[in-house]
Amino acid sequence: MHGLGNDFVVFDARAEPLALTREQVRDLADRHTGIGCDQLIVVGPSDRADAFMHIWNADGSVAEACGNAARCVATLLGEQATIDSAGGLLDAAAAAGAASIVYPPPRFEWDAVPLAYPLDTGDVPAAWDDLAHGVALSVGNPHIVFFVPEAGAVPLDTLGPRIEHDPLFPDRVNVGVAQVVAPSRLILRVWERGAGLTLACGTGAMAAAVAAIRRRVAVSPVTVSLPGGELTVAWDGGPVTLSGPAATSFAGTVEI
């Protein structure tokens, strides 16, 4: 499945448990010798929701949240559903080829992101070459967002991994570079923790829109334009709503 080209291998394990090792996840995610994906998703049972969404990055590391994957899972579960995840309990509404997900309120405390030590998350006093004055926050997983004159000009393929693995971020971090086009529109590119550059990042879109609204350079709802297409983010200070397309590429079986 995919959301704007951010693609996933999705296993439905609600009826039969599926345990995967980190090595198996990496093998399945390999685009040359496996199925290939940015993230691998296992949909399992939950005691408090319609399903639990387990998320692994392509490198085999565990992720707490994935907005594009949540929309894909929502289309599998039906029109209205609740999805449990390591990043919190999500309310989902699916329609033909699209879904909206309501996420818990974002967190801005330094130890909720988390950062390695107390810093102003609204204007992080650190710089990586020309990227500075970032906004750090958690939308179920850790993000830092930098506002730049031209998102496409930032060498995110080299800066992204440097920032992701910086000791300032003990759980590593997703890195977004956002360009404010208008109060209701952003252009965004994201280096995803454990996956690298992707065509779209749902939680990255939420983080960028929330950061822009917090900086008073945007107003809700915000259209976020990513390399793979557009997402809509609404935030009024409480929960965050992410809306956009979700699609099934193909279905099949694989020996594990």
User: What's residue 90's pLDDT?
Assistant: 96
Q: Where are the domains of the chain?
A: 2-103, 124-242
User: What's residue 96's pLDDT?
Assistant: 86
Q: Which residues are catalytic?
A: 66, 201
Divide the 256 residues of the chain into consecutive groups of 10 and give the mean pLDDT of each group: 97 94 97 97 97 97 96 94 95 94 97 98 97 97 98 98 98 98 98 96 98 97 98 98 97 92
Which listed CATH number (2.40.128.630, 3.30.40.10, 3.40.1190.20, 3.10.310.10) goes with 2-103? 3.10.310.10
List alpha helices for the chain, DSSP H.
22-29, 67-77, 156-164, 202-214
User: What's residue 226's pLDDT?
Assistant: 98
pTM reported for the whole predicted model: 0.94
Residue 7: which of 179, 192, 172, 222 has the closest Cα? 192
d(CA 138, CA 9): 25
Helices (H) and strands (E) in the chain, counts: 4, 17
Check for a shared fold between 2-103 and 124-242.
Answer: yes
Residue 53: which of 165, 162, 202, 170 has the closest Cα? 202
User: What's residue 256's pLDDT?
Assistant: 87
Query: Which of helix, strand or coil describes residue 116?
Result: coil
User: What's residue 117's pLDDT?
Assistant: 97
User: What's residue 107's pLDDT?
Assistant: 97
Q: What is the dotted CATH code of the domain comprising 124-242? A: 3.10.310.10
